[in-house]
Amino acid sequence: MDYLKSPIYVSKPSLPDLQDFLPYLEQIWESKILTNNGSFHKQLEKELAEYLGVPYISLFANGTLGLVTALQVLGISGEVITTPFSFVATSHSLLWNNIKPVFVDVEPEFCNLDPEKIEAAITSNTTAILPVHVYGNPCKVERIEEIAKKHSLKVIYDAAHAFGVNYEDQSVCNYGDISILSFHATKVFNTMEGGAIICHDANTKKQIDFLKNFGFASETTIMACGINSKMNEMQAALGLLQLQSHSANNEKRKAIDHFYRKNLNGIKGISFLAQPKNTVPNHAYFPIFVDEKEYGISRDMLYEKLKENGIYGRRYFYPLISEFSMYENYESANSANLLIAKEVSQMVICLPIYPDLKLAEIDYIIHCISGFNQEKEINLIL
Ligand SMILES: *Cc1c(COP(=O)(O)O)cnc(C)c1O
């Protein structure tokens, strides 16, 4: 910490100027419409659908409730095939619906669910596949669709990392039956807390909108046991402002991503993911993978040394979901079936990446990574 004025965290939320937010707040205070599909909520749904290029979007209080509701609206039950290499909300959403998670290994290129291992895990109880576009890199969507069609399974994408990502000239959220976004503070587009479901037809959107409001289909009828997961007007107003700076922020992330790629290249034992093909990425994360034998010190040692020097990377995703005690007793949590997930989970550190990250700070991070394994003196003063 001798060399840094303040610690560098893995992400730092972008916010608009407070002055710019005040007129929105004044409007809310004046109208007294605070939630329940108010005018900012309606406007944000419209603007997001246009911006992302998706047909139907329903805003949520957070991404997790979006996942829970997506499974509910599609009537998913029994067993669902999913990845252990994700944030725990992915599997939790299954348990909230009394569904059994079936963990399948990831592929080594992007750490996404490996389609070639899905079929072996399908049983007569399987009703859906729940993959995650980890770090915003698109899953092998064509293969997943093929398998889902063949076995009549639904596909729900946890696209919490994939805001603004395009694949083959369209939003990656247009693939599968439903996709879920998160607008949490740590994500590339935030409404402090928030999320959304993207679906492909008006009727499904209508059902989703009932379910996020206790299941009310009219004043006097309830269609199912819905929960309260509505986004409020302050979140929606903030979202409208955040949307204005999203492209500029993405450009800044892109520059940081390129700088990391250029300067980490050649550090022995440190690797990073390739740029995905036919994809407009969102540079949400910058994971590196530490090969202890080649690099000289372990991932955890590097992680600790970075922290000692004021750099707070995160081990996304360590431990695996299947390694948490509440999940470890499922047969599919057996690590013999999840070898690649286990390996990447033990090698990964996500480096800081956010629009305000300064060039000097990235330089410092790279300098640390290239010096720690050689016991070099770190003497860069910021
Ligand atoms: C952030 C995240 C979620 C949960 O989103 P919240 O908005 O925080 O509820 C779900 N899945 C993944 C992969 C995430 O990273």
pLDDT reading at 69 higher than 60? yes
CA-based nearest residue to 263, from 377, 124, 361 = 361
212, part of any domain? yes
Residue 369 shares a structural domain with residue 341: yes
Q: What percent of the chain has pLDDT over 90?
A: 95
Residue 49: pLDDT above 80?
yes
Segment 188-204 shows an average pLDDT of: 98
In-domain check, residue 382: no
Ligand 1 centroid–CA 356 distance in Å is 22
Provide the β-strand partners of residue 155.
Answer: 129
Q: How many domains does the chain have?
A: 2
Q: Answer yes or no: do 364 and 268 share one domain.
A: yes
CB 144 within 8 A of CB 129: yes
Residue 4 lies in a domain: no
**From ligand 1's centre to the CA of 63, what distance in Å?**
5
- pLDDT tens for 155-184 read 999 999 999 999 999 999 999 999 999 999
Q: Which residues pair with 328 in a beta bridge?
A: none
Q: What is the number of the ligand 1 atom nearest to the C-alpha of 66?
A: 9
pTM over 0.95: yes
Q: Taking 60 as the threshold, does the pLDDT of residue 296 lie above it?
A: yes
Question: Radius of gyration of the chain from Cα atoms?
Answer: 21
Pocket test for ligand 1, best of 62, 180, 184 (most atoms within 8 A of CB): 184
* Residue 33 pLDDT exceeds 70: yes
Q: For residue 176, what are the domain limits?
A: 18-241
In the predicted model, what is the mean pLDDT of the chain?
96
**Domain match, 216 and 322 both:** no
Q: Is the pLDDT of residue 3 over 70?
A: no
Ligand 1, atom 7: nearest CA belongs to which residue?
63
Q: How far is the CA of 334 from the CAs of 88, 215, 327, in angstroms? A: 17, 38, 10
Residue 90 lies in a domain: yes
d(CA 319, CA 368): 25
Q: How far is the CA of 156 from the centre of ligand 1 (A)?
A: 14
Judgement on whether residues 116 and 225 belong to the same structural domain of the protein:
yes
Dihedral angle of Cα 207, 211, 217, 223, to the nearest 10 degrees: 90
Average pLDDT over residues 283-288: 98
Q: Where does ligand 1 bind, in terms of residues with CB under 6 Å?
A: 62-64, 86-87, 89-90, 132, 158, 160-161, 182, 184, 195
pLDDT by residue (tens digit) across 202-245? 999 999 999 999 999 999 999 999 999 999 999 999 999 999 99
* Pair (229, 84) in one structural domain: yes
Test site for ligand 1: of 10, 11, 59, 64, most ligand atoms within 8 A of the Cβ: 64
Q: Which tokens is 278 given?
A: 């036919």
Q: What is the pLDDT of residues 86-130, one digit of tens each?
A: 999 999 999 999 999 999 999 999 999 999 999 999 999 999 999
Check whether 376 has a pLDDT greater than 80. no
CATH number of the domain where residue 331 is located: 3.90.1150.10
**Burial call 89-127: b when 16+ CB within 10 Å, e when fewer:** bbbbbbebbebbbbbbbbbeebbbbbbebbeebbeeebb
- Is 376 or 221 the better-scoring residue by pLDDT? 221
302 and 327 belong to one structural domain: yes
User: What's 185's domain CATH number?
Assistant: 3.40.640.10
The residue-averaged pLDDT of 46-67 equals 98
Laid out side by side, the sheet with 166-167 consists of 170-171, 166-167, 279-280
**What is the phi/psi pair of residue 245, to 5°?**
-105, 5
Same domain, residue pair 104 and 230: yes
Residue in 69, 106, 158, 163 to alter for ligand 1 test, most ligand atoms within 8 A of Cβ: 158
CA 130–ligand 1 middle distance (angstroms): 13
Mean of the pLDDT values across residues 288-292?
Answer: 98
Distance of alpha carbon 182 from alpha carbon 189, whole angstroms: 8
Judgement on whether residues 226 and 288 belong to the same structural domain of the protein: no
pLDDT, tens only, 250-277: 999 999 999 999 999 989 999 999 999 9
Closest by Cα among 79, 43, 37 to 60: 37
Gap from CA of 261 to ligand 1 centroid (Å): 26
**CA–CA gap between residue 128 and residue 162 (Å, rounded):** 20
41 and 103 assigned to the same domain = yes
Residue 103 CA, ligand 1 centroid: distance in Å: 18
CA distance 104 to 141: 16
Q: Specify the higher pLDDT residue, 110 or 377.
A: 110
Please indicate, yes or no, whether residues 237 and 306 belong to a single structural domain of this protein.
Answer: no
Domain identity same for 261 and 217? no
Whether residue 282 sits in one domain with residue 215:
no
Q: Separation of 64 CA from ligand 1 center, angstroms? A: 6
Handedness of CA 42, 47, 50, 56 (dihedral sign): negative
- Is a pLDDT exceeding 60 seen at residue 2? no
Rounded CA gap, 355 and 338, in Å? 34
Mean pLDDT throughout 333-344? 96
Confidence of residue 372 (pLDDT cuts 50, 70, 90): confident
pLDDT of 242 reads: 98
Query: Of 357, 214, 228, which is closest to residue 285 (Cα–Cα)?
Result: 357
